[in-house]
Amino acid sequence: MGQEQVRPKLNTFLKAKRPPSILFFGPPGCGKTTLARILAGHFSSRVVHLSAPETGVASLKKVIEECEILILDEIHRFSRTQQDFFLPLLEKGEIILFATTTENPSFSITRQLLSRLHLLRLSPLSPEELFTIAKQGTTLLEKEIPDETLRFLIGLCGGDARSLLNLLEYCQEIEDEDLIPERLKKLLPSLVHPGDRTGDSHYEMASALIKSIRGSDADAALYYLCAMLESGEDPRFICRRLIISAAEDIGLADPYALSLATSCAQAIEMIGMPEGFIPLAETVVYLSLAPKSNSTYQAYLEVKKEIDKHGIRPVPIHLKNPSTRLQREWGYGRTYKYPHAYPGSWVDQQYLPDELKGKRFYRPKREGKEPSLIEWLREKKKY
């Protein structure tokens, strides 16, 4: 069902006398294992199907002697050492490997193994494709389910056909009068929304959350927060991202934002989930609505660029602390002016190294509280 983008490759494979080793990559319930089994059955009767979490290298050695094609689900669960086991076997052509993974192969599969596999990337099934599957499922189950209810179930399964078929089987035992969305909601089992806490989806959702906050879109930020939490994301990971966002994107425009984000992390440690969504939602909305300034973030990067290019310059002699008699003789700290001894606790004095005298790294923005924080310095230092 679907997967038009891989059909040309599949047709090429089917014309060959011997298929290549293939890595099927895609989200749960899109047909990876089913497709691997169909292809394997087309080429050989000596096929063994295993799941990586339930298999060790010792058992693999026994299996390989008995089969021509090995279907291995969830290969990303294998360690690097376990993945290396296949390298000589594939190099010598002793076995054909059909492996499946839900995680980005760039991160979960070793480079050496990946170079020996043809990658087939499968896409999530569309609502219309899932609807076709649902109609076929109701026919096989001999159960009449209204189209409205089928579309409701499709919305719950997050593109996962396997979850959809499980829901249909569950509905087989439900009375017909209860097969309407309003009543069915109360009868369905609790669902864990599909998510990938370590692969692409994990980082895509986190990126979307932070970019929505940066763009001051509270609605979008709340949506991605909820999507992450309902997918089982660790709330502590979200808190860390919010703390970074408060410092990077809001900064001195609202210094309180960093305190709120830090307090949110403390609240999560104290109360945990599920109630932890309450302080998280408050923090996400506040950060979204807060004025934005990345001036301190940019200033640090400017300083880093200077140091990377020219190295660390010597500290001016008047700022050096004279810890010994010899250092005092050398003039350490001799001309240092103590700011508190001057009106307004400020005195014109060089602090940067001599080679950087007058250099500007920090460029304040006119957002939120930042202008008021440096207002008193504007005349003196001409910010």
| Number of domains the chain is built from | 4
Q: Give the pLDDT score at 183.
A: 81
Q: Give the pLDDT score at 155.
A: 84
- Looking at residue 96, the DSSP 8-state letter turns out to be E
Q: Give the pLDDT score at 382.
A: 66
| pLDDT greater than 60 at residue 301 | yes
Domain boundary among 106, 121, 136: 121
Q: How far is CA 245 from the centre of its chain?
A: 15
Residue 238 and residue 142 share a domain? no
Please indicate, yes or no, if residue 171 is contained in any of the structural domains: yes
Q: Average per-residue pLDDT in the chain?
A: 88
CA distance 227 to 233: 9
Across 30-34, 127-131, 196-200, least confident range: 196-200
What's the whole-number mean pLDDT along residues 69-85?
90
Please indicate, yes or no, if residue 311 is contained in any of the structural domains: no
CATH code of the domain covering residue 271: 1.20.272.10
Residue 117 and residue 22 share a domain? yes
| Whether 212 contacts 275, CB under 8 Å | no
Q: Which amino acid is at 6?
A: V
Please indicate, yes or no, if residue 52 is contained in any of the structural domains: yes
Please indicate, yes or no, if residue 242 is contained in any of the structural domains: yes
Please indicate, yes or no, if residue 181 is contained in any of the structural domains: yes
Question: Reduced to 3 DSSP states, what percent helix, strand and coil does the chain have, rounded to the nearest 5?
Answer: 60, 5, 35
Q: Give the pLDDT score at 72.
A: 92
What's the whole-number mean pLDDT along residues 277-294?
96
What's the whole-number mean pLDDT along residues 217-241?
91
CA distance 51 to 66: 17
Residue 173 and residue 250 share a domain? no
Burial of 150 (0-12, 13-18, 19+ CB in 10 A): buried
Q: How far is CA 108 from the centre of its chain?
A: 14
CA distance 49 to 366: 63
| pLDDT greater than 70 at residue 21 | yes
Q: Give the pLDDT score at 189.
A: 65
Q: Percent of the chain beyond pLDDT 90?
A: 48
Q: Give the pLDDT score at 80.
A: 87
Tell me which residue range forms the domain holding 323: 316-381
Please indicate, yes or no, if residue 299 is contained in any of the structural domains: no
Question: What's the whole-model pTM score?
Answer: 0.59
| pLDDT greater than 90 at residue 238 | yes
Higher pLDDT, 209 or 159: 209
| pLDDT greater than 90 at residue 98 | yes
Tens of pLDDT, residues 135-161: 999 999 888 888 988 998 888 887 889
Residue 138 and residue 76 share a domain? no
CA distance 282 to 267: 12
Q: Give the pLDDT score at 180.
A: 83
CATH code of the domain covering residue 359: 1.10.3710
CA distance 225 to 209: 7
- Looking at residue 315, the DSSP 8-state letter turns out to be P
Q: Give the pLDDT score at 117.
A: 93
| pLDDT greater than 80 at residue 195 | no
Q: Give the pLDDT score at 221.
A: 95
Residue 103 and residue 134 share a domain? no
| pLDDT greater than 80 at residue 315 | yes
Across 60-69, 255-264, 316-325, least confident range: 60-69
Domain boundary among 121, 144, 172: 121
What's the whole-number mean pLDDT along residues 284-303?
95
Please indicate, yes or no, if residue 264 is contained in any of the structural domains: yes
pLDDT band at residue 202 under the 50/70/90 scheme: low
Q: What is the CA radius of gyration of the chain?
A: 30
Higher pLDDT, 5 or 55: 5
- Looking at residue 317, the DSSP 8-state letter turns out to be G
Tens of pLDDT, residues 221-232: 999 999 888 877
Residue 132 and residue 117 share a domain? no
Q: What strands, in cross-sheet order, belong to the sheet with 96-101?
A: 47-51, 69-73, 96-101, 22-25, 118-121
For residue 204 the two structure tokens come to 């895509």
